[in-house]
């Protein structure tokens, strides 16, 4: 690099953008998971040794390079402003990571603390504001990588930690610390240890010999058109799912398809409230009777006060509607509108935001003797929601989704990757049912057994494993993430405190006497 300050600063900014771009291309639909630690390493090399302000700037620039190309699906049908505003806000977390690198980058064991800093910033942006936005966590770019098995021990936080640790370890090998030999050994350990640990876990992620199985069918009925107005033809969407279920029933009767025990429809399969509309209820009942088993139906239900609920409910072929789960975490500016009066003045699209209210509970229901976790679309990104459901006894995780408003974007594959991580994290089969694609069946090892294409009517029929054992990650819940956050806090707080105590001990009695006299 050039020694001229202005040129060196420009080179650092370019390197920061490249670091962010490397993180972006490590995410699905590309299978370049190995570039994530490279991106972290480059950013750490750029930031280490700078001041706090410069660390934030370079981290923020890297965050823009990462999140701007990761999130364009946000603005597909509403213009670039929401997309760019969201990416700019979320990039603040990467800026905070840059500050973290500056503060802990020269401490003993720096790769560990740098990795904790990354997890801490992910934890922050997964919670604030408005419930957080967990998209773009390093863990969710690793479903095809060798580290995936770590999710069964510490969930998504440990997987993100491992990726960041490898990157920070590689950075320490590229920069000379105060003790080069010690730094090199620590860097090598940080790079190699996550991979070695993951490979030792692979046998433990296999299905236990006591696991049972059941037959499932995932229905993708497709939508009549793309965009925000797809649900203007709500009856057509419902009829598409009825028709696809009836086709499956005909194939079962003909002996060309296995009879399912569980049938899953996607989110918004019936945007017509079937509890209030007799025609919609009759259509769903007809489909359930054709296939002969209950159907898990995604529906929009109205409330007396004019609000709505995004609901998944069991529809029995004989008794009709049964147990239901309401979506617990809603999409801000989509399913509900914060500060509605103000935002509607700023954007013509704001009036299209829904008036949904969140549900409660553990997100589980029982269907044909099987306990199901229901993570409706966006909810699969949140650790605690899925974990609560599995700890409540869920044997299968279902992810009913409606991605029709995001076209053929990367969003669907990013969400599919989250489902793969959840499968390994909790040792459960995951069934992704999408209105227009991509629907999928994922085994407890995170492998996609079968999936559909975009914008086509299709059915996935498989026999899947039922598991009731709990992985260590499920048992620990949020403790690994909390431990990393606390470790970073201690590293940041304890050395200054020790330094202050040391300075106090070094003061002599004469110093104290002089201080007392001066004060008088």
Please list the active-site residues: 267, 327, 377
* First-residue to last-residue Cα distance in the chain: 57
Closest Cα partner for 234 from 93, 404, 485, 2? 404
- 445 near 424, Cβ under 8 Å? yes
Strand segments, DSSP code E, in 406-487 are: 429-434, 440-442, 448-451, 458-466
CA distance linking residue 275 with residue 256, whole number of Å: 34
Distance of CA 100 to the CA centre of its chain: 23
> Are 134 and 381 within 8 A, CB to CB?
yes
Does residue 402 contact residue 298 with C-beta atoms inside 8 Å?
yes
Burial class (CB in 10 A: 0-12, 13-18, 19+), 277: middle
Strands 429-434 and 396-401: what pairing?
parallel
Q: How many of the other CB atoms lie within 10 Å of CB of 331?
A: 18
CA distance 102 to 96: 10
3-state per-residue secondary structure call for 476-517:
HCCHHHHHHHHHHHHHHHHHHHHHHHHHHHHCCHHHHHHHHH
């Amino acid at each position: 690099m050039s020694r001229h300050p202005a040129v060196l600063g420009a080179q650092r900014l370019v390197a920061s953008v490249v670091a962010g771009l490397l993180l972006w291309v490590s995410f699905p639909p590309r299978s370049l998971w190995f570039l994530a630690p490279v991106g972290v390493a480059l950013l750490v090399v750029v930031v280490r040794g700078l001041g706090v302000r410069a660390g934030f700037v370079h981290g923020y620039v890297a965050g823009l390079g990462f999140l701007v190309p990761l999130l364009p699906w946000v603005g597909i049908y509403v213009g670039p402003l929401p997309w760019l505003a969201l990416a700019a806000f979320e990039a603040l977390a990467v800026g905070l990571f840059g500050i973290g690198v500056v503060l802990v980058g020269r401490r003993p064991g720096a790769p560990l603390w740098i990795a904790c800093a990354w997890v801490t910033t992910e934890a922050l942006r997964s919670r604030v504001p408005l419930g957080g936005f967990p998209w773009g966590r390093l863990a969710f770019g690793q479903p095809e990588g060798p580290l995936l098995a770590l999710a069964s021990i510490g969930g998504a936080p440990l997987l993100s930690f491992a990726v960041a640790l490898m990157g920070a370890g590689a950075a320490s090998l590229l920069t000379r610390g105060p003790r080069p030999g010690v730094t090199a050994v620590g860097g090598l350990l940080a790079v190699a240890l996550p991979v070695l640990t993951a490979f030792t876990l692979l046998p433990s992620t296999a299905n236990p010999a006591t696991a049972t199985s059941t037959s499932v069918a995932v229905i993708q009925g497709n939508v009549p058109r793309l965009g925000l107005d797809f649900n203007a033809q709500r009856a057509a969407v419902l009829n598409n799912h009825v028709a696809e279920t009836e086709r499956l029933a005909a194939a079962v009767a003909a002996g060309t398809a296995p009879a399912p025990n569980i049938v899953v429809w996607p989110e918004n399969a019936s945007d017509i409230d079937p509890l209030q509309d007799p025609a919609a209820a009759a259509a769903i009942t007809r489909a359930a009777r054709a296939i002969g088993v209950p159907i898990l139906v995604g529906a929009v239900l109205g409330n007396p006060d004019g609000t709505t609920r995004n609901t998944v409910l069991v529809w029995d072929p004989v008794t009709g509607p049964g147990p239901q789960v309401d979506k617990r975490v809603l999409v801000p500016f989509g399913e509900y509108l914060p500060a509605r009066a103000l935002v509607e003045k700023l954007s013509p699209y704001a009036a299209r935001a829904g008036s949904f209210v969140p549900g409660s509970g553990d997100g589980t229901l029982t269907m044909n003797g099987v306990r199901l976790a229901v993570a409706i679309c966006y909810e699969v990104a949140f650790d605690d929601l899925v974990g609560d459901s599995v700890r409540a006894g869920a044997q299968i995780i279902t992810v009913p989704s409606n991605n029709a408003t995001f076209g053929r974007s990367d969003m669907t594959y990013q969400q599919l990757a989250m489902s793969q991580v959840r499968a390994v994290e909790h040792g459960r089969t995951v069934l992704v049912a999408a209105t227009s694609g991509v629907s999928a069946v994922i085994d407890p090892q995170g492998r996609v057994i079968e999936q559909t294409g975009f914008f086509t009517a299709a059915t996935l029929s498989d026999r899947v494993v039922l598991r009731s054992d709990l992985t260590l990650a499920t048992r620990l819940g949020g403790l690994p993430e909390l431990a990393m956050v606390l470790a970073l806090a201690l590293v940041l707080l304890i050395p200054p405190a020790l330094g202050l105590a040391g300075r106090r001990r070094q003061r002599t009695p004469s110093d104290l006497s002089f201080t007392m006299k001066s004060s008088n």
